[in-house]
Amino acid sequence: MSTPVEITIYTTSTCPYCRAAKDLLKKKNLAFNEISVDGDPDGRQKMTERANGRTTVPQIFFNETHIGGCDDLQELHWGGKLDLLLADLAER
Mean pLDDT of the chain, nearest integer = 96
Give the predicted TM-score (pTM) of the model. 0.95
Q: Where are the domains of the chain?
A: 7-91
> Per DSSP, what are the bridge partners of residue 11?
36
Q: In whole angstroms, give the CA distance from residue 58 to residue 42.
A: 16
28-87 pLDDT, tens digit per residue, is: 999 999 999 999 999 999 999 999 999 999 999 999 999 999 999 999 999 999 999 999
Alpha-carbon distances, residue 87 vs 2, 58, 62 (angstroms): 8, 22, 11
Q: What CATH number is given for 7-91 in this structure?
A: 3.40.30.10
53: phi then psi, degrees, rounded to nearest 5? 95, -5
Bridge pairing between strands 65-68 and 59-62: antiparallel
